[in-house]
Structures are given as structure tokens and as C-alpha cells.
Structure 1
Amino acid sequence: MNIDWSLLIAAVGLAFVFEGLPYFLFAERMPRMLLRLATQPPKFLRFIGLAAIILGLLIISFGRSLSS
């Protein structure tokens, strides 16, 4: 298995960008949002996590289909 390290590092960097955007754009609202998320049941948080994973995989698949 050959790993393209530059692509992996770029993907991790892009993940940090997307993770940081809400905190930068909505700094005043984020504490309330995090408190609201902390009160949600684990089943709901797992559903949101699974939805994010599926959406991410679909975006990756779409991006790869554009480049071939």
C-alpha cells in the first residue's frame, strides 16, 4: 500500500480549517451550541457523527470522480 503523504497532510489541514470555521465565524454562539450538544443523548450524537461520516465519504467519492 502506497500512501500519498502530501494528500493525507492536506486532508488533515483541511479538516482543521473546517473545524475552526464555526468558532471563528460564530464565536459568540458556540458556547451555547456546545452546551446544547452536551445535553443531547448519545444516540443522537452518534447519528450526527454517522451522518457526517457518510456526507464526508460522499464528498470524497464525488471529488475523486471529478478527477478521473
Structure 2
Amino acid sequence: MIDLLTALALVLVIEGLLYAAAPDGMRRMAAMAAETPSSTLRTAGLVAAIVGVALVWLLRP
């Protein structure tokens, strides 16, 4: 459970840094995501999840 909470905290840190460093870029990225078809977003999300699970599997003993 601690690992899950740590991972969620790191997501918040990374997203917070992105919004702090490039707020206009993040706003443009959100606008682009709103215009992207749902199927494309779903596929990208699934690929990101699979890559994330693979990385955790490879990195954790």
C-alpha cells in the first residue's frame, strides 16, 4: 500500500512541476486532448498503462 501511495505522490509531483514550469504548454496539451477522438485516447492510455506495468515489473525486485 505504501508503494501505491508513493507512486500517486510522484504523479502529483511530476504533474505539478509540469504545470509550474510550462502552464501555457499544458493548457495547449489539454486543448489538443479534448479534440482527440476517444478511441485514440483510450489506446494511448492502455499503451501507457502496459508500459508502466512492465517498467514496475522490471524495476522492482
Task: Give the structure-1-normalised TM-score.
Answer: 0.73
Matched, 1:53 2:49: yes
Letter matched to residue 8 of structure 2 = V
Aligned residues between the structures? 61
Structure 1 runs of 4+ with >4 Å offset: none
| Structure with the higher helix share, 1 or 2 | 2
Tell me: higher relative CO, structure 1 or 2? Use CA pairs within 8 A at least 6 residues apart. Answer: 2
Letter matched to residue 16 of structure 2 = G
Task: Give the structure-2-normalised TM-score.
Answer: 0.79
Name stretches of at least 5 consecutive residues in structure 1 with no aligned partner.
none
In 2 relative to 1, CA 59–21 (structure 1 residues): closer, same or farther, beyond 3 Å? Answer: farther
Name stretches of at least 5 consecutive residues in structure 2 with no aligned partner.
none
What value does the CA root-mean-square deviation take over the aligned residues?
Answer: 1.5
